[in-house]
Amino acid sequence: MTDNAVRFAVLAGLAACFTAFAPAVSADRGRALPARYRTVVVTLRDGSYSRVHSVICDSDVRAVIRSLAGAGATSIQFNGMPVGPGARIRAAGPVLVCEDRSVALPYRITAVGAKDRLVRALRAVKRALRFSDSSMLTFR
């Protein structure tokens, strides 16, 4: 199998994972995942500029991605790009750059996994980051 064929197969598997309200499918071999595996969508947006820690920065996004990976997410996407806990995410002025692609607000992180574990991890990271506004990090 060529490198391009492998990339296409992986991306096709990831696309299948993120179909809303459809049965979850694993990215590695197309096998059905247990029923408890569902998609969790996290939205990060800037808060009120009059408060401390009101701007989402690259370290906040990395913390959320690492917490989801640590909670056992089978696949994670950041604004549509597949990422892992070691993804290169950095600030470049008012936008973030992920793997050499610019990403603007609002930032959306989508993860597939055991929903109860992912939600617990997100609640913990939300407490740890101490955002000035609770609407800066939301998930469903």
Domain boundaries, the chain: 36-139
User: Which amino acid is residue 5, in one-letter code?
Assistant: A
| 105 has a pLDDT exceeding 90 | no
In this structure, what DSSP letter does residue 32 have? B
Across 40-61, average pLDDT: 79
77 vs 52 pLDDT, higher one: 77
Gap between the Cα atoms of 107 and 95, Å rounded? 10
Percent with pLDDT over 70 in the chain: 69
Q: Place 53 in a pLDDT band, splitting at 50, 70 and 90.
A: low
Q: Place 55 in a pLDDT band, splitting at 50, 70 and 90.
A: confident
**What is the CATH code of the structural domain delimited by 36-139?**
3.30.70.1880
Gap between the Cα atoms of 42 and 68, Å rounded? 10
Does this model's pTM top 0.75?
no
Closest CA to 113 of 34, 58, 45, 42: 34
Q: Place 19 in a pLDDT band, splitting at 50, 70 and 90.
A: very low
